[in-house]
Chain A
Amino acid sequence: MKKSVNTVINAAGRTVPTEVNGVPVIPYKGVGQHRPEGNKYGPPISTCIDFPADGSKQIATLKQALIAAGLKDGMTISTHHHFRNGDVIAIQIFDIASELGIKNLVWFPSASFDCHAPLTKYLEDGTIHHIEGSMNGQLGRFTSAGKMNGVGVLRSHGGRYQAVQDGEVKIDIAVIAAPTADSFGNANGLNGPAACGLLGFALADAQYATKVIVVTDHVVPFPCWPWQIQGNYVDYVVQVDRVGIPDKIVSGTTEITKSPDRLFLADLTARFCEEAGIIQDGFSFQAGSGGTALSIGIYFAEMLKAKGMKSRFARGGSNAYLVKMLEEGLVDYILDGQTFDLEGVRSMRENPTHVDTSPFTSYNYHSKGNFAQLVDVVILGATEVDVNFNANVVTHSDGVLLHGIGGWQNCLFAKCTILPIPLFRDRIPVIREEVTTLCGPGELIDVIVTERGIAINPLRMDLLDKLKGSSLPIRTIRELKDEGEKICGVPAAVQFEEEIVAVVKWVDGTVIDCVRKVK
């Protein structure tokens, strides 16, 4: 049972705990208000004379590697999510830990997927104390029901790098599943049966963990080039029969949505961008992985072609459509954080202008600037937004935790952030008086596009001016909220228990909101 904690009202007006899992935390202070001091965290000094002279760090099994790495109670174990729903390694780690009778581990994934649902048994038996990362689907439900021993911590991709760099999270053992590696530990995601494109999400883990284990099913003779993960950080290399399930890592084909309502939203969003003057020669964009976002890329491509223009760079998640734009010369560079399909993997292998990035380059709070802030327009999703343009991506309106933050919070720093969302999903209105869980402050969210109208944040006077007299259905956010509620009815307020089951970190490591146990 979690002990009750003190709470405080943060700068967003949200009641948040002052400590999480027994460690003091800083309440959210506002966008750009938190500036930690001191030096970055460093892992223990290693010395090359302690490693095999022949450079081979291969060890027979993952179990032996974990034992050699000193696996013990209370450690923090990290994994990455480039294998998406085809990850098989995270489960094996905790199978081994359980077999060894290890307790109270912290799992620190860069994201979780449905394939990780079996970990609930290790959360139940105490092998895992809590998760810091994301709790999707069943893990989210489990957390929302108050069944996790510790308090979950939700971070953005950039926030994860920040937490590692400023020492908020100290990774004891990083396990990096890699599609290809050599025995020295150099690794990449480009080649091998489980090719996933890149390994950027594991970069911080390699650099800052006390011990690093690379697991692969495809060992090549030294050098494994390109070395997306440098073997100089790696302690052990394990060869397994299968490191991931290829069809679940990337889908062979990606189809644009056939849903007429989503296509309508995508078309409306693209038209908004055109009228707002965002689509110009040399502009840059990022669209998420959903069906709507994917289609927006296609509309952008059509507009660029018609105008004889091109985009300087697109930020990935890459997919076949973005690759087509690159190969047709409609975009100069793809700066890619993760590949969503096989075309993305192929392109990253073949096209020198399809560049792999990491949360360090793209999103990190402790970098000297990052790429996200350079993007002209970013198209994102949300489970809910409110009349102050605040948005939620982790819980649904019924209060249940179901999604991680991903790069969503970090992307809000783009020059224009647009959320295309339906006004209601089945009977659930998406625009609320107040979001159930605050993940992104409204001051960073510029435009909400729904099928029944577009709301521009009143802070963006420039956009409001540009769209004056437009034929697009520009309305106030409150008008949209009222229309949604007229159709669906006004939803009842969700009742929560006092108990805090998870906290949502802002990109700077402060606590912007928390998730409470559902009744």
Chain B
Amino acid sequence: MNNTIATAGNKGEKDRSDCFVSLQLTSSGGIVIDLTSKVEVLFGEAIRNLCLEVLHYFGIENAHLTIEDKGALPFVMAARLEAAIMQVTETDKEFLPSMLPENLYSSKRDQHRLSRLYLPGNTPSLMINAGIHTPNAIILDLEDAVAVQKKSEARFLVRNALRHLSFMGVERMVRINQVPAGLDDLDYIIPHNVNTIVVPKCESAEQIHEVNKRIAAIQQIKNLTNHVWLIPIVESALGIIKSFEIASAADNVVALAIGLEDYTAELGIQRTNEGLETLFARCQVINACKAAGIQALDSVFSDVGDAAALKIYARQSKSIGFDGVGCIHPRQLKDIHEGFAPDEREIENAKKIMVAFAEATNKGLGVVSLGTKMIDAPVVKRAQRVIDLAISLGKLHKDWRDSDHLVNTQS
């Protein structure tokens, strides 16, 4: 019997909605639970019952379990306990919380990814309300936002969050660790309706193939057919040079993101808000993405306190051809969306194109023209995208074709 004391979870002064569990297997005496919880009066019995259920599920009959609880939701506590159990037993079993029906949605190849909000994969308090802030995507991060010694327990938490925490329709991404180590993360993620895998520090098409091979293997075993998109991040000089190879590595690569923190470190230069030093790298990535027909996503803007600089950053990103930027705090979302929102002129132009297109279609004309200019299909498609985006950001009324709503709602 393994009688080491296994631990999982967090109990720092500032940690909330989390718990810290210590588990030691014993040879007799049944299961002894020491619980200290701020919600003891209301949920003490529910917590004990959950712990017993999990322990019995894994066939543990004798153990000493200590739980220091700071209001962890049941899916969090189950993840912590399972992470501890895995350290002292050998098993293939998984204790899975129920999959919420509202989590069974998929994302589309070309849906808007203006904002992607990183959530540290081992910090439940930051995950729980992430959906209400309506980023275009959330990224449950198993890589840089998780301390090395917490990597393993974070997988259980992220898995349980994918199943049992509602992100309210937001695209659900997970950033795995660098390939090849990150391949094992996929076992915990793929079966739980993740929409998109973010592959960090990517430097070759081969890495993408490896990820896809592993995904296929997992899906085969589990008999799954869900579509999983990939977003590789290029964050080295080599990765950026190879960005077209990576962008076109597989059909399910929907975007390429650039990571400028590592890149500037590699070059030994300072990353500035103006970004002149990374202009080449960024344009290289944008060009590769456009050549491959996928989205280009700009690096994370990490200075949460500087809203003014973020606004400029987002506008600049848009102006050179990026389709979105990453962020680490919900309060950055508004500025990002504002920065990427189409301006009044773009909206007016798109409206004219759509109206002309509708007229031409009604008349059964094969050629759409606006004034003396002929409009081809990609222009119409682009205009439709501008209209959709303007509506989703509240810049245009959804019934803009009605005469009542001719005026933009932007004030």
Which residues of A are in contact with B by a Cβ distance under 8 Å?
A: 258, 260-261, 263-264, 306, 397-399, 425-428, 451-452, 487-489, 491-492, 494, 518
Contacts and interface: CB of A to CB of B under 8 A. Distances in A.
B39 A261 contact: no
Nearest to A263: B331
Contact of A427 (B17, B132, B133): B17
Chain A to chain B: the 8 pairs with minimum beta-carbon distance, closest first: A426-B71, A491-B42, A260-B330, A398-B41, A427-B71, A451-B132, A427-B39, A261-B129
A428 B74 CA distance: 12
Interface residues of B, number: 23
A462 B70 CA distance: 41
Contacts of B411: 306
Nearest to A471: B394
A398 B329 CA distance: 32
Interface string B307-332: 00000000000000000000001110
Contacts of A260: 129, 133, 329-331
B16 interface: yes
Interface in B62-83: 70-74
B17 A492 contact: no
B38 interface: yes
B258 to A, nearest CB: 26
A492 B329 contact: no
B404 interface: no
B38 to A, nearest CB: 7
Nearest to B42: A491
Interface stretch (B43-51, B138-146, B202-210, B220-228): B43-51
A223 B76 CA distance: 64
Contacts of B43: 427, 488-489, 491-492
B46 A489 contact: yes
17 contacts: A260-B329, A261-B129, A264-B132, A264-B330, A397-B41, A398-B39, A426-B16, A426-B17, A426-B39, A427-B71, A428-B71, A488-B73, A491-B43, A492-B41, A492-B42, A492-B43, A492-B45
A452 B133 CA distance: 11
B133 A264 contact: yes
Contacts of B39: 398, 426-428, 491
Nearest to A258: B331
A397 B124 CA distance: 23
Contacts of A518: 41
Among B39, B43, B330: residue with most chain A CB under 10 A? B39
Given A426-B17, A487-B73, A492 B46 contact: yes
Given A427-B42, A451-B132, A518-B41, 16 more contacts: A263-B331, A264-B132, A398-B39, A425-B71, A426-B16, A426-B39, A426-B71, A427-B39, A427-B43, A427-B73, A452-B132, A488-B43, A491-B43, A492-B43, A494-B41, A494-B42
B41 to A, nearest CB: 4
Contacts of A306: 411
Contacts of A487: 73
Interface in B226-253: none
A425 B41 CA distance: 15
A127 B17 CA distance: 41
Nearest to B129: A261
A399 B133 contact: no
Nearest to B37: A427
A260 B42 CA distance: 27
Contact of B129 (A258, A428, A451, A488): A451
Nearest to A494: B41
Among B39, B41, B330: residue with most chain A CB under 10 A? B41
B330 A426 contact: no
Contact of B74 (A426, A452, A489): A489
Contacts of A425: 71
Nearest to A422: B129
A494 B40 CA distance: 10
A518 B39 CA distance: 14
Among A258, A397, A492: residue with most chain B CB under 10 A? A492
A98 B177 CA distance: 66
A421 to B, nearest CB: 13
Contacts of B45: 492
Contacts of B72: 426-427
Interface string B25-63: 000000000000011111111100000000000000000
A25 B219 CA distance: 71
Among A264, A427, A452, A492: residue with most chain B CB under 10 A? A427
Contacts of A428: 39, 42, 71
Contact of B70 (A399, A426, A492, A494): A426
A384 B346 CA distance: 48
